[in-house]
Amino acid sequence: MSKLKNTPEIIIDIGDVSGEYYAAPLFQNAEIWRISENGSFTYRFNIPVAKTFDCKEKYFFELLTNKSDCRNGYYDLVKAEMDSLTKPDLPLCNSFVVQRLAKYIPQGSSLHHAVSNTKRNMNFQEFDDSIDISCNIGVCGIDGAVSTVVGQSLVADNKKVFGIVGDLAFFYDMNALGQKDISNNLRIILINNNRGVEFRLNPGLENTIGEKTDQLIAAHGHNKGGAKGWAESCGFCYLTADSKQTFDAQINRFCNDDFDKPVLFEVFTNAEDEKLGLKLMQTHNRKKGR
Ligand SMILES: Cc1ncc(C[n+]2csc(CCOP(=O)(O)OP(=O)(O)O)c2C)c(N)n1
Ligand SMILES: [Mg+2]
Q: Does residue 39 sit in the same domain as residue 64?
A: yes
Ligand 1 contacts CB of residue 226 (under 6 A)? no
- Decide which of 44, 61, 83 is a domain's last residue: 83
pLDDT > 90: percent of the chain = 74
Domain closes at, from 83, 105, 122: 83
Q: How many domains does the chain have?
A: 2
Asked whether residue 61 is domain-assigned, the answer is yes
- Name residue 207's amino acid: N
Judgement on whether residues 75 and 101 belong to the same structural domain of the protein: no
The pLDDT tens digits of the residues spanning 148-188 come to 999 999 999 889 999 999 999 999 999 999 999 999 999 99
138 close to 288: Cβ distance less than 8 angstroms = no
Q: Whose CA is nearest to atom 5 of ligand 1?
A: 141
Of residues 119 and 22, more confidently modeled: 119
The whole-angstrom separation of Cα 5 and Cα 79 is 12
pLDDT for 73: 79
The reported pTM is: 0.90
Alpha carbon of 166 to ligand 1 centroid (Å) = 9
Q: What is the pLDDT of residue 2?
A: 46
**pLDDT greater than 90 at residue 41:** no
> Is the CB–ligand 1 distance for residue 169 below 6 Å?
yes
In a domain, 88, yes or no: no
Banded pLDDT at 15 (limits 50, 70, 90)? confident
Assess whether the C-beta atom of 163 lies below 6 angstroms from ligand 1: no
**Nearest CA residue ID for atom 26, ligand 1:** 141
Q: Give 166 Cα–ligand 2 centroid separation in angstroms.
A: 5
Same domain, 227 and 256: yes
Query: Which residue is closest in CA terms to ligand 1's atom 3?
Result: 141
The predicted structure's pLDDT at residue 1: 45
Q: How far is the CA of 31 from the centre of ligand 1 (A)?
A: 32
Question: Is any atom of ligand 1 closer than 6 Å to the C-beta of 285?
Answer: no
Q: Which domain covers residue 20, as residue numbers?
A: 10-83
Ligand 1 touching residue 142 (CB < 6 A): yes
Query: Within 10 Å of residue 135's Cβ, how many Cβ atoms?
Result: 19
Summarize the confidence of residues 213-222 as an average pLDDT: 97
124 in a structural domain: yes
Q: For helices 94-104 and 244-256, what crossing angle results, to 10°? A: 40
The domain boundary residue, chosen from 83, 104, 135: 83
Are residues 161 and 106 both part of a single domain? yes
How far apart are the C-alpha atoms of 140 and 169, rounded to whole Å? 11
How far apart are the CA of 254 and the centre of ligand 2, in A?
21
Gyration radius of the chain's alpha carbons: 20
Ligand 1 pocket, 116 CB below 6 A?
Answer: yes
Give the confidence band of 289 by pLDDT, cuts at 50, 70, 90: low
d(CA 141, ligand 2 centre) in Å: 12
Pocket of ligand 1 contains residue 152 by CB under 6 Å: no
* Shared domain check, 212 and 164: yes
| Residue 33 and residue 151 in one domain | no
CATH number of the domain encompassing residue 209: 3.40.50.970
